[in-house]
Amino acid sequence: MSERERSLWDILGTEPTGDERALKRAYAKRLKVTRPEDDPAAFQELRDAYEYALRNAAAIAEYVQQQAEVQGPDAEVLGSDPAALAPAITSVHADSGPAEAVPPEPAEAPSAELWGVIAHEELRMVPPPARAPELWGVIDIDPAEEAADLWQECLTRASRCDPAKLLTELLQRDALLKFDVREEFELCALRYCAQPGYALPLRHALFVALGWDHDFAYLARSHGDLVREAVQRLRADRSFAHFSEQRDQYPGLDCIMSQQEPSAYARQLFDRKFTLQLRALLQTIRWQHGEMLAYKLDVALFERWEHAVFSKRYFSQTALVSAGLGFVLHFMLSGVLDVAGWRLDDIGSSASLLGFQALAFVLLALNAFQRPAPVFAWFASIQERVQQRWSDRPALPQLGWLAAFLVLALLLFLPAQSEALRTSLSAGLCITALIATAANHALLRGRLIGCVITAFAVTMLFAIDQHDKGLALIDGMTLVYCVQVLALRSMAGIYADLGGSETALPRWRAGWLIGCLAALLAVYLRAAPLPVLGAIMLLLAVTGMLLSPFELAWRAAWPLVAMPALSSVLLSSWQGVPTVPAMLPLVRLAIVLALAVLYFTVRHLYLLHRRSAKPDGLA
């Protein structure tokens, strides 16, 4: 061989062999490192060598067998003598004409192609003998036609058997070991997956068997649009299957997946919880599952659902809250007038109730529809500035009413109050209760509001003597309600939200415990005037709620039923004092609140130390 000639077997990367399966495996292995788009010349050289070896496989196999029988298994099959393989090759090509006898000592070496060397024409000194053109790679069957036949067989059999097993069998066939046939087969599969009307089991089996779940890079370079379409349809099917599995858990999801008009669910849209859930689902599908919206859902119907859901502002819960608010406003007005010494007759009470009902419905309707827009925009800007100002202390905007509440509550302990002051305090407490409700409306729902109402009723029953005018009914109810709203806000602990230092918290709690016990002892020993002690007890109760979380649960709060009786024991030494009875209901209420906070604080500390306990003692 000349310096520029390469052995046939060096190109294929295998030992001399006539086994067609071995040649195909060697060819497929070399294709992984020899791509037509990377090195066209090397690919053409590999293709020529493979087709030549495949055409002459019978002659090569016969010669290899003869050499093995004559020289033994260790003999060199195709040696350096070019004439050795020529008789075997010329004997199997009957279509090229009658075989000519080869002289035992030829005057010149036969063509290098006859024994496995691909020579360059310009380096040959002697022209090669004429040969049939089919020896150099005439393709009898078009790869596209062969791949189309295999794909049609796959489609026909996929409806009757498992697609995964079928593809495993097809990919082991000799035809799909050819690079061009495999490429055309994958292109047929890609067109199938990129068009509507495919079978889901077959499509999923194709993605797994052909490795498309991991690598689409080769097909994406030449068929990017088809790859993009197939991947988007795959994601759409996966999203649709995921949402279909969740239909029973989310009622709103069933509306979207059923593909019905919003008018079919008009009654459900008046439910606030249902509508808010549906609103979140629509946003999730729109921004995170766009493929499912494009390929599996009706886009026009989906947009009608969005318009119906996002334009919904007024719910049945809004109407119920409006009715409750109207009744509360009427009750507050009647209570304040009663404190002032005025009473409404039947006509006045009916007019007040109906008027406040109408006012409540109008106010909540305006709030629901955000009308007038300039007023609500101005109010929203104020809220935004407050949140930005106190972003490091998120609890402060919800506790803005607390300062006014404390001032008004402490003023109730003044021994001598004029009618004007008493009326002003009652009206101020009512307004404070409304502000507390508006600031913490997100908490006042479900079981929590049930716990507040129950605790409110129990406290009013045991702590307030309605026959004693020392604490008017309206004052007591608003006072207890505001304290319970604060307790509800304190369930998760608000000390950290207020920006307090965690290292100082144990010292604050220790000081509070000592102060609370000292105040209770002072009440029993009559160490100070009763109004002063009552104001201190109320201040301690509110402060304790800021330091320790509450638990509004029956399992934790059942000892509270003993608090009114204990407060009566503490006040028993004051029963004989003639100037005290007018202040007893208010002081009793402050003592009950302080005892409740004391109980929850001690319980919280006990649970903390029990969780941190170790075999060798407390951590």
The tens digit of pLDDT for each residue in 23-51 reads 887 887 787 677 676 777 787 888 888 88
The tens digit of pLDDT for each residue in 235-254 reads 899 899 888 888 888 878 88
Across 29-38, 191-200, 201-210, least confident range:
29-38
Residue 428: count other Cβ atoms within 10 Å of its Cβ: 18
- Give the pLDDT of residue 211: 82
Q: Mean pLDDT over residues 160-182, rounded?
A: 86
Same domain, 586 and 441: yes
Provide the percentage of residues in the chain whose pLDDT is more than 70: 80
Q: Which residue has the higher pLDDT, 446 or 105?
A: 446
pLDDT at 517 over 90: yes
Cβ-contact 315, 272 below 8 angstroms = yes
- Give the pLDDT of residue 12: 83
- The rounded distance, in Å, linking the Cα atoms of 554 and 73 is 92
First to last CA, the chain: 87
| Nearest CA among 187, 181, 186, 157 for reference residue 169 | 157
User: Helices (H) and strands (E) in the chain — how many of each?
Assistant: 27, 4
- Burial of 275-296, coded b for 16+ CB within 10 Å and e otherwise, reads bebbbebbeebeeebebbbebb
Range of the domain at 234: 143-238
> Does 570 map to a domain?
yes
Pairing of strands 613-614, 617-618: antiparallel
412: helix, strand or coil: coil
Across 52-56, 154-158, 351-355, least confident range:
52-56
Cβ-contact 251, 220 below 8 angstroms = no
The tens digit of pLDDT for each residue in 83-121 reads 444 444 444 444 444 333 334 444 344 343 433 444 333
Same domain, 471 and 508: yes
> Does 268 map to a domain?
yes
pLDDT at 285 over 60: yes
The tens digit of pLDDT for each residue in 555-590 reads 787 888 788 888 888 888 887 776 666 778 888 889
Mean pLDDT of the chain, nearest integer: 79
| Nearest CA among 393, 390, 473, 405 for reference residue 437 | 405
pLDDT at 598 over 90: yes
- The rounded distance, in Å, linking the Cα atoms of 179 and 194 is 22
Same domain, 211 and 256: no
The tens digit of pLDDT for each residue in 455-486 reads 666 666 655 554 445 567 788 788 888 888 88
Q: How many folded domains does the chain comprise?
A: 4
- Give the pLDDT of residue 352: 92
> What residue ranges in 320-467 does DSSP mark as E strands?
none
Q: Where are the alpha helices (DSSP H) in 117-173?
A: 143-158, 163-170
- The rounded distance, in Å, linking the Cα atoms of 366 and 376 is 9
pLDDT band at 326; cut points 50, 70, 90: very high
To 10 degrees, the CA torsion angle through 461, 463, 465, 468?
Answer: -160
| Nearest CA among 204, 213, 194 for reference residue 158 | 204
Q: Mean pLDDT over residues 526-547, rounded?
A: 92
Q: Mean pLDDT over residues 305-315, rounded?
A: 90
Across 49-63, 118-132, 145-159, 398-412, least confident range:
118-132
Tell me the residue type at 111.
Answer: S
- Final residue of a structural domain among 288, 310, 332: 310
pLDDT at 136 over 70: no
- Give the pLDDT of residue 616: 55
Half-sphere exposure of 338 (CA within 13 A, CB side): 14
> Does 10 map to a domain?
yes
- The rounded distance, in Å, linking the Cα atoms of 134 and 540 is 105
> Does 284 map to a domain?
yes
Residue 594: count other Cβ atoms within 10 Å of its Cβ: 26
- Give the pLDDT of residue 449: 66
For residue 140, give the DSSP letter: S
- Give the pLDDT of residue 405: 93
The 3-class secondary structure across 513-540, one letter per residue, is: HHHHHHHHHHHHHCCCCHHHHHHHHHHH
- Final residue of a structural domain among 290, 310, 330: 310
Q: Mean pLDDT over residues 356-376, rounded?
A: 91
Same domain, 489 and 539: yes
Cα Dmax for the chain: 149
> Does 355 map to a domain?
no
pLDDT band at 365; cut points 50, 70, 90: very high
344: helix, strand or coil: coil
- The rounded distance, in Å, linking the Cα atoms of 2 and 120 is 9
To 10 degrees, the CA torsion angle through 558, 485, 448, 460?
Answer: 50
Q: At what angle do helices 473-489 and 584-611 cross, to 10 degrees?
A: 10
- Give the pLDDT of residue 84: 47
- The rounded distance, in Å, linking the Cα atoms of 583 and 577 is 11
- Burial of 397-421, coded b for 16+ CB within 10 Å and e otherwise, reads ebbebbebbbebbbbbbeeeeeeee
- Final residue of a structural domain among 183, 204, 238: 238
Q: Which residue has the higher pLDDT, 54 or 593?
A: 593
Same domain, 213 and 305: no
Same domain, 401 and 524: yes
To 10 degrees, the CA torsion angle through 486, 491, 495, 498?
Answer: -60
> Does 619 map to a domain?
no
H or E element that contains 613: strand 613-614
- Going 227 to 232 to 236 to 242, the CA torsion angle's sign is positive
pLDDT at 498 over 90: no
- Give the pLDDT of residue 359: 94
- Give the pLDDT of residue 113: 41
- Give the pLDDT of residue 341: 81
> Does 315 map to a domain?
no
In terms of average pLDDT, the best of 111-120, 173-182, 303-312 is 303-312
Q: Mean pLDDT over residues 313-339, rounded?
A: 89
Backbone angles phi, psi at 208, to 5 degrees: -80, -50
Same domain, 124 and 256: no
Same domain, 176 and 252: no
Length, in residues, of the chain: 619
pLDDT at 541 over 90: yes
Q: At what angle do helices 530-547 and 505-525 cross, to 10 degrees?
A: 160
132: helix, strand or coil: coil
> Does 419 map to a domain?
yes
Cβ-contact 320, 449 below 8 angstroms = no
- The rounded distance, in Å, linking the Cα atoms of 200 and 233 is 11
Same domain, 189 and 252: no
pLDDT at 367 over 50: yes
Q: Mean pLDDT over residues 118-139, rounded?
A: 40
Same domain, 171 and 274: no
Across 39-48, 159-168, 290-299, 332-341, least confident range:
39-48
7: helix, strand or coil: strand
pLDDT band at 615; cut points 50, 70, 90: low
Same domain, 281 and 229: no
Same domain, 55 and 182: no
Across 334-343, 348-357, 446-455, 545-554, least confident range:
446-455
